[in-house]
Structure 1
Amino acid sequence: MLLLKLYLAFLKVGTFGFGGGYAILSLIENEVVNSNKWISATEFVDIIGISQMTPGPVAINCATFTGYKVSGVLGSIVATLGVVTTSFILVTLAYFFFTKFKESTLLNSALSGMKPALIGLIIGVFISLSKTAYVDLKSLIIGAIIGVMLFKTKIHPILIIVISAILGIVFY
């Protein structure tokens, strides 16, 4: 029963999540932290951190790590399958029908309307994650340093992660 619930939760995330990993994080958080209470908000932030450092899409990595936390290896397989099921079906259908609807003004208009909503979802995730990530002055200082580095330099993201880890070791 738990595996079915895990699959259905991530099927919902994969079905209604539009715009990639960061936009989908709010849906994942709602399912695994708020609705089902499988993990805590702090564990969710940790899973996001691990998901960003490992290869692959963030949403799939979050599903895999959450599934493992909830129900071991089988849970990770079930959660991962849940989050990719709808995308797999849609990509398969798109392969056959995309050329027919490529010039559709209705489709292009719908996609144009979704773009601003995705930015709103990403900002919502940032605010939600900020509540658990920025817990004290040290975490604010690390966030500010990394933020300045991201916007003022062209440092590679892997180096940013390494610098963040070093700052975490130094401050904590």
Structure 2
Amino acid sequence: MSGVTAGNIQNTSPAGVSRLDVLRVYLKIGTIGFGGGYAVMNLIHAELVEKRQWLTEQRYENMLSLSEMAPGALTVNLLAGVAYRLGGVKTMLLATAALILPSFLLILLLAGFFLAWQHNPLVAGALEGLTAGVVGLMLAVVWELIEKFPNHWYYYATGAVALVLGFFLHVNPIWLVILGAAAGGLKSLASILYRRLKTEPGKDVGA
């Protein structure tokens, strides 16, 4: 994809993506991405992976995992990391500003209205409807993640343990993320050791 030549903001990034295209997509996500967090993951995945193919599925999942481990808002962490990968620090700063600008302006416009009308039954009903819609979006994202879940007993066991620790024992999410990462590392280490032990007898015979 060739970059737009008019103005520095439209330079082509090292990844071959026009900086202006990145800003347009981030502005779109920031404008229509209601709910934040996992409620916007479907939109982000559709825009970056499916439609524009700026990320592979594996790269997207890896960056999502890293974003969950970092402090701060998940959506901002993920999209800031993607923008940095696409065009470096300048693209990351501009794209992140484009991402948060719509919600910032909307909050400024609605803050006074909400404070004046927050006890109005129509306003309260509208907010409850928005909450229900966001819950539906999050359930849709969870179902999509389940469909993409690797079909292996280890992943189901890890997910079940995280569910029990988080839902029933109320363990802090950061510990669940760290424990999940540690479990994945141990699984990979065990697989490497198993392959080495399996191939060593063959090497001795061949020698």
- Could you say whether these structures have the same fold, taking a TM-score greater than 0.5 normalized by the shorter chain as the test? yes
Give the equivalent residue in structure 2 for 1:74: 90
Aligned to 2:20: 4
1:110 aligns with 2:121: no
Given candidates 134, 142, 145, the residue that maps to 2:150 is 134
> What is the CA deviation profile of residues 58-86 of structure 1, one whole-angstrom value per residue up to 9, with x for unaligned ones?
11111101111211212211221121010
Is 1:149 paired with 2:203?
Answer: no
Distance change in 2, residues 1:89/1:161 (3 Å): same
SS at match of 1:103: coil
Query: In structure 1, what is the equivalent of residue 9 of structure 2?
Result: none
Q: How much has 1:135 moved relative to structure 2?
A: 4.6
Determine the structure 1 residue equivalent to 2:114: 98
Bigger Rg over Cα: 2
Distance in 1, Cα, partners of 2:61 & 2:77: 13
2:68 and 2:177 in contact (8 A); partners too: no
Structure 1 alignment gaps of length 5 or more: none
Task: Give the match for residue 86 of structure 1.
Answer: 102
TM-score, length-scaled by structure 2: 0.75
1:79-132: CA deviations, max 9, x gaps?
211210101101221334333333343332222222222111111212223344
The residue type equivalent to 1:137 in the other structure is W
Q: Could you say which structure has the higher helix fraction?
A: 1
Q: Which residue among 136, 139, 155 is the counterpart of 1:120?
A: 136
Task: Please identify, of 139-148 and 83-92, the stretch whose mean Cα deviation from structure 2 is larger.
Answer: 139-148
| Matches of 2:143 and 2:93, distance apart in 1 | 30
Structure 2 residues without counterparts, runs of 5 or longer: 5-17, 189-207
Candidates 8, 15, 24, aligned match of 2:40: 24
Superposition RMSD on alpha carbons, in Å? 1.8
Q: 1:56 aligns with which of 52, 57, 72?
A: 72
1:133 Cα deviation from its structure 2 partner:
4.2
Give the Cα–Cα distance (whole angstroms) in 2 for the partners of residues 166 and 143 of structure 1. 13
Identity within the alignment, %: 28
How far apart, CA to CA, are the structure 1 residues paired with 2:147 and 2:21?
Answer: 28
Deviations 1:2-61 (A, max 9, x none): 111111111111111112211111111111111111001222222221111111111111
1:39/1:163 CA distance change after superposition, 3 Å:
same
CA distance in 2, matches of 1:137, 1:35: 32
Aligned residues: 172
